[in-house]
């Protein structure tokens, strides 16, 4: 589910919240850009290019200070400093995007047009009082982002997707594909991934369920996490991966790399798109096949999207247990159907029953996550895959979070429902010395007593 977009309001309203330092008044914003224009005329850019980044920034700051003091001597010192800083964002920074990317609470930045800039904060989309002069201004900042990455965008190549040095992802699409204006989307990632304990603290799942899922990972069960865009699939995947024993060799396969796992024995592989001439593509399926030759203890596929599903399930069924992956789907049923279709895309003429048998024998748990209307991410269902029943994949629901309404503050409220059933995985967990996690989940089932 997409986060709600608040209706635009005048600057300072609830729907137009500032991110990072407060925006300059419109007249000073124009003054900052005028100072930038003057700096472009007066600075020796060739000389700046020969300096270190620190020396170049210091030289630009001194030049900006002279301009501000000459043009606006009556401004207070704090306003002069803000004006200098704003002008420097244009010279050596990322212009209007600079304060947004400095704000640790901002997880996504979206530029729709010079006057329409949104951020995601706390799961909500907020319009922010950030403006560009025009489309050319956006393009100048875009080229500054892409140049150090060796990438470019122009009419011949009007779309680009790239990874910034800090791991953030940037996507740019320009006219004529986006006729009104160049559009920029920057997705940021935490340097430290959330742990399961963090997610419990945020209300994403109850502690007994977190303990059960952690035990399932340690006991080398195969888990598929399903959810929509921005529902927290990758966040939960990283948290679960944190419970893989440290002495195991983990290989991740992604397109693009988003997981930021903190462990020693980790090898991250990334798919590669075809080059300009249409050659050189390396798919997730290629990487998965190669990973099987690299003696992995665990294989993590960041998101299964196509025919690599066949190879992933085959790996799960042939000794590579404890694998984790995510899939884009709005329910567990949708996830299993999509997985079946992806296997059929692999090019093998398999009957549907054979595909379902492969799915049923490979997967142990499917976890559904969702983004709630108030912006929070939550585990809403856990399903255990039991095997085949006739021509269908048999499963039983272990956990559900049922939405009950919205409180006066706008926060979604709901209740936990736990099936009074002993998971078939219980024997596996108990054999691995993880019986406490099973008992904790069963105790929770007795407490809620709200199962239909």
- pLDDT tens track for 254-306: 998 999 898 999 999 999 888 767 789 999 999 999 999 999 999 999 999 99
- How many domains, the chain? 3
CATH of the domain at 98: 3.30.450.90
* Average pLDDT score over residue span 369-382: 95
Residue 408 near residue 429 (C-beta atoms within 8 A): no
Assigned domain for 175 exists: yes
Q: Are residues 166 and 202 in the same domain?
A: no
Q: Work out the mean pLDDT of the chain and round it to a whole number.
A: 88
* Boundary-marking domain end, from 136, 163, 190: 190
Residue 108 near residue 185 (C-beta atoms within 8 A): yes
Q: Are residues 99 and 87 in the same domain?
A: no
Q: Are residues 145 and 157 in the same domain?
A: yes
Q: Are residues 289 and 400 in the same domain?
A: yes
Cα 50 to the center of its chain, rounded Å: 37
Q: Are residues 165 and 177 in the same domain?
A: yes
Q: Are residues 86 and 118 in the same domain?
A: no
Q: How far apart are CA 259 and CA 299, in angstroms?
A: 13
Give the domain range for residue 50: 24-92
Task: For tokens 């399961």, name the residue.
Answer: 196
CATH of the domain at 229: 3.40.50.300
Coil/strand/helix, residue 397: strand
Among 43-47, 78-82, 230-234, the range scoring the smallest mean pLDDT is: 43-47
pLDDT at residue 411 tops 50: yes
Q: What is the pTM of this model?
A: 0.83
| Four-point Cα dihedral 72, 73, 74, 80, nearest 10 | 60
Q: Are residues 393 and 331 in the same domain?
A: yes
pLDDT at residue 253 tops 50: yes
* Average pLDDT score over residue span 80-107: 88
Other beta carbons less than 10 A from residue 316's beta carbon: 23
Assigned domain for 14 exists: no
What percent of the chain is predicted at pLDDT more than 70? 92
Q: Among candidates 109, 225, 229, 96, which has minimal Cα distance to 164?
A: 109
Among 12-21, 278-287, 305-314, 350-359, the range scoring the smallest mean pLDDT is: 12-21
Q: How far apart are CA 277 and CA 376, in angstroms?
A: 43
Q: Are residues 63 and 106 in the same domain?
A: no
* Boundary-marking domain end, from 190, 213, 245: 190
Q: Among candidates 316, 326, 263, 258, which has minimal Cα distance to 291?
A: 316
pLDDT at residue 450 tops 60: no
* Boundary-marking domain end, from 161, 190, 219: 190
């Amino acid at each position: 589910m997409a986060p709600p977009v608040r209706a635009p309001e005048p600057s300072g309203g609830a729907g137009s919240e500032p991110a990072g330092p407060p925006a300059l008044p419109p007249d000073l914003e124009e003054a900052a850009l005028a100072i930038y224009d003057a700096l472009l005329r007066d600075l020796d850019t060739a000389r700046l290019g020969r300096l270190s980044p620190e020396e170049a920034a210091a030289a630009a700051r001194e030049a900006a200070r002279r301009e501000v003091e000459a043009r606006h001597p009556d401004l207070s010192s704090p306003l002069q400093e803000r004006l200098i800083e704003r002008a420097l964002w244009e010279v050596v920074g990322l212009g209007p995007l600079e304060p947004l990317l400095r704000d640790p609470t901002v997880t996504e930045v979206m530029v729709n047009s010079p006057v329409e800039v949104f951020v995601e904060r706390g799961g909500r989309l907020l319009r922010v009082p950030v403006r560009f002069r025009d489309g050319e201004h956006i393009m100048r900042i875009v080229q500054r982002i892409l140049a150090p990455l060796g990438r470019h965008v122009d009419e011949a190549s009007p779309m680009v997707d790239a990874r910034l040095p800090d791991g953030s992802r940037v996507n740019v699409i320009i006219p004529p594909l986006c006729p009104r204006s160049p559009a920029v989307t920057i997705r940021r990632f935490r340097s430290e991934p959330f742990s399961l304990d963090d997610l419990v603290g945020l209300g994403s799942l109850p502690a007994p369920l977190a303990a059960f899922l952690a035990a399932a990972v340690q006991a080398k069960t195969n888990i598929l996490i399903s959810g929509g865009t921005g529902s927290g699939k990758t966040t939960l995947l990283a948290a679960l991966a944190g419970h893989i024993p440290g002495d195991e060799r983990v290989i991740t396969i992604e397109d693009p790399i988003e997981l930021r796992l903190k462990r020693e024995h980790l090898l991250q592989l990334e798919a590669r798109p075809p080059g300009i001439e249409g050659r050189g593509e390396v798919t997730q399926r290629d990487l998965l096949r190669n990973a099987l030759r690299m003696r992995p203890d665990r294989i993590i596929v960041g998101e299964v999207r196509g025919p690599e599903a066949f190879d992933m399930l085959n790996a799960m069924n042939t000794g590579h247990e404890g694998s984790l992956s995510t899939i884009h789907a709005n329910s567990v049923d949708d996830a299993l159907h999509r997985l079946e279709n992806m296997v059929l895309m692999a090019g093998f003429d398999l009957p549907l029953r054979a595909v379902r048998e492969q799915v049923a024998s490979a997967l142990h748990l499917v976890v559904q996550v969702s983004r709630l209307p108030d912006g929070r991410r939550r585990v809403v269902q856990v399903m255990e895959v039991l095997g085949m029943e006739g021509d269908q994949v048999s499963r039983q629901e272990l956990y559900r979070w049922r939405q009950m309404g919205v409180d006066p503050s706008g926060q979604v409220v709901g209740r936990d429902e736990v099936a009074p059933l002993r998971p078939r995985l219980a024997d596996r967990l108990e054999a691995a010395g993880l019986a406490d996690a099973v008992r904790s989940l069963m105790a929770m089932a007795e407490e809620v007593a709200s199962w239909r």
